[in-house]
Amino acid sequence: MVHRVEKWTDSISDWNDVGPDFYITAQIPAATVNPSKVFVVGDGKRYYGYENKKLLSGQKYMIYSRGLTSRNNKVSSIQL
C-alpha cells in the first residue's frame, strides 16, 4: 500500500476514506513469492489486478506492507 504525503508526520486516521493519495500497489499470492526476487514499488506494472503506479519525483511516500495468512479457512492479518 502506498500513501503520498505532504509531511513525514502525515498519517491516515480513517482507512475507509483515504482518497487518491492512497492506493494498493500489488497483491502477491504466497505461491508466487520468491525470496530472492526484489519487489520494486512504482515500477508501473500490474500485479493481480492492482496497478503499481509510477512514483512521482520530488514526492514523499509512506509504504505499508501487509501479509495475510489462511489456515483452516481462517484468515489472519499482520501489518509489517
List, in order, residues 6 or more apart from 12 with CB less than 8 Å away.
Answer: 3, 18, 22
Find the angle CA(41)-CA(44)-CA(50) to the nearest 5 degrees.
80
What is the predicted pLDDT for the residue at 40?
92
Quote the pTM value. 0.66
Grid cell 480513517 in the structure block, residue: 14
Classify residue 25 as exposed, middle or buried by CB count within 10 Å of its CB (0-12, 13-18, 19+): buried
Q: Give the number of other CB atoms < 10 A from CB of residue 64.
A: 13
What is the predicted pLDDT for the residue at 51?
93
What is the predicted pLDDT for the residue at 14?
59
pLDDT in tens, the chain (80 residues): 888 888 777 776 655 666 777 888 998 888 888 888 888 999 999 999 999 999 999 999 988 888 776 666 665 555 55
What is the predicted pLDDT for the residue at 68?
73
Q: What is the DSSP letter of 6?
A: S
